Amino acid sequence: MSKTSLTIGIVAETAKNETRVAVAPQDLSRFAGLAKDVQILVEKGAGKGAQFTDKMYADAGAKLSTTKQAWAADVVLKINMPEAKEVANLKKGALVISLTQGANADKVFKAVEKQGAGILSLERIPRTSRAQAMDVLSSQANIAGYRAVLEATQHYGRFMPLMMTAAGSAKPARVAVLGAGVAGLQAIATAKRLGAVVEAYDVRPEVAEQIQSLGAKFMDLGIEEEGAGEGGYAKELSAEGKKKQQQALQDKLATFDIVITTAQIPGRPAPVLVTEATVKNMRPGSVIVDLAAATGGNCPLTVADKVTVKHDVILVGHTNYPGFLPADASAFFGRNLFNLLKIMVVEDKLNLNYEDDILNAAVLVADGKARKN
């Protein structure tokens, strides 16, 4: 009987309202091919939220396991940052791969160090062409942008497209998308497919061409301050720039029926784009879908994980849009993880080569020691 060369654990998510799982059953064969004699341990019930049954995983070749067994693998795959009590099940030399944003990050990192294990932060994967296939933030943001528009249609009391009937006609909805990153561009494309008239704004003027290529109009607020940051992300505007931006949007957004905000700055609270004065200025029944609700919101009136009405405007503050489409979101996430593991498994063993820019940036703790990267 051959000895297992690599064990991979797929564990259940414990975060509130999380329906996804790190790997979908149809993709297990990809992981099994990473090395000789790979054993994949799936925690029982891990795929329930995404409607993946234990039988589906077992039929795909996984070994159904207890929580402790799955966490005792060489590599543990997870979506959200683990809890310190979960990390206590890690074996020495193991590696957890997950997102790592959260209030308890320092506590979790110390718990990983105590176990003599390691953790790779998916947020820290650089935004380069080579790393694109491993970028879970982009794959999940794509889903979020799509689902945000569908959420808007659920709360907006009118048609999205131009409708002409024997009883009369209805004008198409006017949709504003603030922020033209991955989520924003997908929101633009989805709103256009549904027949809306779309305009979009971003502090990075270089994205105007991308916005226009999707059939939307670039919203020029005349701020005269660029917000392009490192790695393709936006940077925070100056205090004067923020004030000009907010004032310009206050006047502009009064003409829109739906506003989808996607602006975020890595490691910082979300910038306020839609002030309370702006909300007061909008038409009754208008909808704001705030994709930055988890980091404070682009509108200060947004309440995380709730749909509220303020000044006769509907504010949607869901924080996990990919969780509304868990099967596809899980499949995308898992394929990103597979592409990452492909550069980490060498000659049937896990090999953390820090000369690789991706691993050097993303591995925060290895073999019980915090890394300076």
Catalytic residues: 127, 132, 135, 138, 233
Nearest Cα to 80, choosing from 56, 57, 103, 113?
A: 103
Phi, psi of 3 (to 5 degrees): -80, 140
Element (H, E) at 185: helix 182-193
297: alpha, beta or left? (left if phi > 0; alpha if psi -120 to 50): left
User: From residue 43, how far is each of 22, 180, 321 by CA, in Å?
Assistant: 11, 38, 24
Q: Give Cα separations from 187 to 128, 152, 194, 215 (angstroms).
A: 23, 11, 11, 12
Q: What is the rounded CA–CA span in Å between residue 69 and residue 72?
A: 5
Strands 6-10 and 38-43 turn out to be: parallel
**Cα(48)–Cα(103) distance, rounded to whole angstroms?**
27
Q: Three-state SS for 220? A: coil
Task: Write the CB contacts of 48 (distance below 8 Å, at least 6 apart in sequence).
Answer: none
**Contact by Cβ (8 Å): 348, 36:** yes
Nearest to 326 by CA among 16, 14, 23: 23
Element (H, E) at 361: helix 357-362
